[in-house]
Amino acid sequence: FFLSPKLEKRAKGKLQKQICQVVLDHFEKQYTAELGDAWSSVRDVLTSPWCWQHAVLLNRFSRSPGLESSLAEQGYQPAFPAALPYLPAAFRCYTRTAPGRFPAQKHQPGRLKEYYLLNAASLLPVLALEVKDGEDVLDLCAAPGGKSVAILQCACPGHFHCNEYDDLRSRWLEQTIESFIPDPLINLITVSKLDGRQIGDLQPEFYDKVLVDAPCSNDRSWLFSADPQQAVLRLMQRKELSSLQFQLLRSAVQALRPGGSLVYSTCTLSRAENSDLINLMLSSCRNVMPVDLSGMARGVSQEFTFLSGMQQHELLVLPEKGRAWGPMYVAKLKKVSST
């Protein structure tokens, strides 16, 4: 998939107009300081949507006979071919190095979709969570539902609680689950609209596994903010996000049983919302300890580019051309005792 120089120039001109300059200037300053030399190549990918890639996660509850051969014909190959610490046999995902998008499937009531299109890096928090059959699982900030669907491709939880505070996003989550999960299994899923900061108080020590895919500065979408005023407002409110994320993490730890583990993830490069937050959590909560993710990182090193110099319990996927996945930050913690 290559554009002729003339078409690329035209596409660049068109897309450049859509890039929100105030956001790009802000990122330029912050990420040059935080990422150093890595930022320029990341910036090139984030500001060039024609080089973005999409993964195809197959739905084990609705297998289509010709789908995998159709994917192969279009250059897709199974993702994660290396041995990973956790990769259930039913979990099937396809990627290709060329950009472009496999056709999306429309929601049809009463009919299950055969696959989910997503950024392949967003599967890493699910693989890090290592859900096993029969475990009680909480997806604290679950909309739009891709990670919830991915968890159910891995295992059948004893009870699965998908929470989304925002009303509109909660309806989106419900529709996603309806589109991918058959009726018998849907009975094991609770969808709620609770404030995630309160779930730890409402259901203390109830879950074996908790995913906190936190609301964050979504670097990809913020760069293309159509409304400059909204962009300015977002950037002003950005500093408050880490406070919300910390409260969600505290709640998640409360909701965990001793011995249980949580995965925290964001789709931002921002250190304040990633490493700084996890460091604060580890220094302020004596009953959690970091969990080493280096085995998983080694297993997926062919697919993803990671920021070097991270601690063993965290990963930061950096988008680059040909591997335009991320940004995606993943950290894993374990609760060692009651609060």
Q: Is 142 annotated as a binding residue?
A: yes
Q: Is 143 annotated as a binding residue?
A: yes
Residues in the chain: 339
Smallest CA-to-CA distance from 7 within 36, 37, 50, 46 is with 50
Q: Which residues contact 300 (CB under 8 A, 6 or more apart)?
A: 80, 82, 84, 124
Angle made by CA atoms 80, 81, 85, in degrees to the nearest 5: 65
Here the tokens at position 322 are 């040909």
In the block, tokens 């950290």 appear at 331
Q: Is 141 annotated as a binding residue?
A: yes
Quote the CA–CA distance of 102 and 100 in Å, as a whole number: 7
Q: Is 120 annotated as a binding residue?
A: no
Q: Is 144 annotated as a binding residue?
A: yes
Angle made by CA atoms 172, 191, 215, in degrees to the nearest 5: 60
Here the tokens at position 247 are 């409260």
Q: Which residues contact 233 (CB under 8 A, 6 or more apart)?
A: none
Strands 328-335 and 314-317, by their bridges, are antiparallel
In 19-57, which ranges are continuous DSSP H helix?
21-35, 38-46
Positions marked active-site:
267
Q: Is 55 annotated as a binding residue?
A: no
Chain CA centroid to CA 93, Å:
15
Smallest CA-to-CA distance from 151 within 126, 187, 119, 182 is with 126
Here the tokens at position 252 are 């998640």
Instruction: Please report, as a single letter, which amino acid is at residue 271.
Output: R
Phi, psi of 160, rounded to the nearest 5 degrees: -125, 115
- 8 Å CB contact between 267 and 289: no
Q: Is 189 helix (H, G, I), strand (E, B) or coil?
A: strand
Residues in binding site:
141-147, 164, 195, 213
Task: List the binding residues for S-adenosyl-L-methionine.
Answer: 141-147, 164, 195, 213
